Each structure stands twice: as structure tokens, then as C-alpha cells.
């Protein structure tokens, strides 16, 4: 089998996010970059399939600036075999532009399965996976927390409001990984050393112009009038009064 995994480098979720001087982008100077946490589930799933099915190769693909190499190396250290970086300038890229670049490169590759993360935790868009699937005219299930491969098809579980859908899709297919799909492994030291030496295939594609752009960024407003009602059980009657008379929610 040939498996592709699309991965993105994102700021560590613990990183403090500072809005840049242009008020349209973030200040990236102090950011600790990591492999997008959902993409770890995607990489892990691909590697587990590889461990089960002999002759499987796992290729990671990322669209981004030079620094994205560290996220790619992280995926290789987990067990991916090959890597492609579609190199861009260090600017905010909208989902369609990214999806188009990925589809342009992927259409010339061999694949049975293409994995994505459910969402990139920077823009929280939940878009790129289904977009690539449509551009390549492939079936897609997003997001999923359980996967079984059979001959020529894949059966997955997708959580919806109040239930779970069991979906069968023919291969090749696009799958977005949700939390709960697996437990991503920590790369072993040997993997980390090997990942450093692995050549990364750098590609350049003609990027589309942005279809949507950020015109302004701001910090969320903190809640006004938030207050500590009191301590312990003694504060409960006052809380109930406030919920009833002030907030009018009970």
C-alpha cells in the first residue's frame, strides 16, 4: 500500500500568541513550533498500517516555509519513509490555496489512502482534507475515530451529534484523523537520528492567489463583570439568586 499523510507545522498549543505589528498576522518570533497534534494521529495510523501490511510506504507532505522541516522530521522519526516539502514563503495561506498545492503534487503520486488531521490547531479551519478530496475527486470521511481496512475498502466510524455513523468508502480515499483514533508514539532515539539524515524532496508549485484574507486580528474581550460570588456552600443561595435575577438562565 501507498499512504500519504499531509502534515502542518503549528505553534505549540502552550505558546502565547502575540498579534503582529500589522494587526493581521501573528508575531512568530518567540514561537515554539510543533507537528500539528491531529496530524500525529494521522501519522500514527499510517505507521500502524505499515507495520501490519508488508510493502507499505508512508510519505509525509507539507506545504509551508523552510521551518516546516522540523515537523516533517518529527513524522519521519515516528516512522514515515519519505517526505515532500512544498516550499512557500512564510505567510498566512488560506485553505483553498494549500489544498490546491497539495492536490497538484498528489495527483502525480501513487496512493491508496491519504491521511489528514481533523484540524490544524492554528487556524482551526477543518477544511484542507475534504477540499483535497474534492479536488482529486476521491471519497472522504472526516473526522474519524476508528478505522478498519478491508480489501479495496475502508470502514470508519464518525461521531456526529448524538450518535456515530459507520461509513464504508472505496479506496483510494481521504481520511481525517480525530483524537481517539490511536495513541501517537513518541519517536525512539534511533528514529530521531535517522530522521535528521533523511533527504526531503523539496518542490515548488505555482500558488493560487488567496481566496480569503485576514483583515484584522484582535484579542478576545474578557468577560465583563465576572465575579467570585463567594466561598463554599454559603455562596450557593446568592449564586442561585444571580442566575435567576441577573443572568435569567434558570
Ligand X SMILES: Nc1ncnc2c1ncn2[C@@H]1O[C@H](COP(=O)(O)O)[C@@H](O)[C@H]1O
Contact positions vs ligand FAD (CB under 6 A)? 13, 37, 121
* Residue 233 binding target from other proteins, ligand FAD, ligand X, none, CB below 5 to 8 Å by type: other proteins
Q: Between 38 and 111, whose beta carbon lies closer to ligand FAD?
A: 38
* Residue 220 binding target from ligand FAD, ligand X, other proteins, none, CB below 5 to 8 Å by type: other proteins
Q: Which residue has the cell 497538484?
A: 104
Q: How far apart are CA 211 and CA 100, in angstroms?
A: 11
Q: How far apart are CA 250 and CA 247, in angstroms?
A: 8
Q: Which of 59, 62, 97, 182 contacts ligand X by CB under 6 A?
A: 62
Closest CA to 103 of 121, 79, 86, 122: 86
* Residue 219 binding target from ligand FAD, ligand X, other proteins, none, CB below 5 to 8 Å by type: other proteins
In the region spanning residues 108 to 167, those forming contacts with other proteins, defined by CB under 8 A, are: 121-135, 138-142, 145, 155, 157, 159-167
* Residue 193 binding target from ligand X, ligand FAD, other proteins, none, CB below 5 to 8 Å by type: none
Q: Between 189 and 215, whose beta carbon lies closer to other proteins?
A: 215
Q: Between 111 and 116, whose beta carbon lies closer to ligand X?
A: 116
Q: How far apart are CA 189 and CA 184, in angstroms?
A: 16
Q: How far apart are CA 72 and CA 7, in angstroms?
A: 7
Closest CA to 130 of 6, 2, 10, 3: 6
Element (H, E) at 194: helix 189-197
Strands 146-150 vs 153-160: parallel, antiparallel or unpaired: antiparallel
Q: Between 185 and 198, whose beta carbon lies closer to other proteins?
A: 185
128 scored as a contact of ligand X (CB under 6 A): yes
Cβ burial of 104 (10 Å; 0-12, 13-18, 19+) is middle
Minimum CB–partner distance for residue 37 and ligand FAD (Å): 4
Tell me the per-residue interface mask from 173 to 212 with other proteins, x by CB under 8 A, - otherwise: x----xxx----------------------------xxxx
Q: Between 117 and 191, whose beta carbon lies closer to ligand X?
A: 117
74 scored as a contact of ligand X (CB under 6 A): no
The grid cell for 25 is 498576522
Q: Is the peptide bond before 172 cis (omega within 30 degrees of 0)?
A: yes
187 scored as a contact of ligand X (CB under 6 A): no
Q: How far apart are CA 198 and CA 242, in angstroms?
A: 61
Binding site for ligand X (CB under 6 A): 6-8, 36, 38-39, 42, 62-64, 95, 98, 116-117, 119-120, 123, 125-129
Amino acid at each position: 500500500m501507498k499512504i500519504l499523510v499531509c502534515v502542518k507545522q503549528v505553534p505549540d498549543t502552550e505558546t502565547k500568541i502575540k498579534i503582529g505589528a500589522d494587526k493581521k498576522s501573528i508575531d512568530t518570533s518567540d514561537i515554539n513550533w510543533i507537528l500539528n497534534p491531529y496530524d500525529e494521529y494521522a501519522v500514527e495510523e499510517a505507521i500502524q498500517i505499515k507495520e501490519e501490511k508488508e510493502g507499505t510506504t508512508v510519505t509525509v507532505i507539507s506545504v509551508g516555509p523552510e521551518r516546516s522541516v522540523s515537523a516533517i522530521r518529527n513524522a519521519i522519526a515516528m516512522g514515515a519513509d519519505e517526505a515532500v516539502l512544498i516550499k512557500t514563503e512564510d505567510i498566512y495561506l488560506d485553505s483553498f490555496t494549500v489544498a490546491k498545492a497539495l492536490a497538484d503534487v498528489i495527483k502525480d503520486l501513487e496512493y491508496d489512502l491519504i491521511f489528514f488531521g481533523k484540524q490544524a490547531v492554528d487556524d482551526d479551519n477543518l477544511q484542507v482534507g475534504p477540499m483535497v478530496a474534492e479536488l482529486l475527486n476521491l471519497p472522504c470521511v472526516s473526522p474519524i475515530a476508528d478505522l478498519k481496512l478491508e480489501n479495496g475498502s475502508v470502514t470508519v466510524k464518525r461521531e456526529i451529534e448524538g450518535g456515530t455513523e459507520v461509513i464504508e468508502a472505496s479506496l483510494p480515499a481521504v481520511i481525517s484523523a480525530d483524537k481517539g483514533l490511536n495513541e501517537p508514539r513518541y519517536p525512539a532515539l534511533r528514529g530521531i537520528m535517522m530522521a535528521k539524515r533523511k533527504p526531503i524532496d523539496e518542490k515548488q508549485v505555482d500558488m493560487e492567489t488567496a481566496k480569503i484574507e485576514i483583515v484584522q486580528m484582535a484579542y478576545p474581550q474578557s468577560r465583563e463583570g465576572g465575579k467570585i460570588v463567594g466561598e463554599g456552600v454559603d455562596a450557593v443561595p446568592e449564586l442561585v439568586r444571580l442566575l435567576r435575577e441577573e443572568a435569567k438562565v434558570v
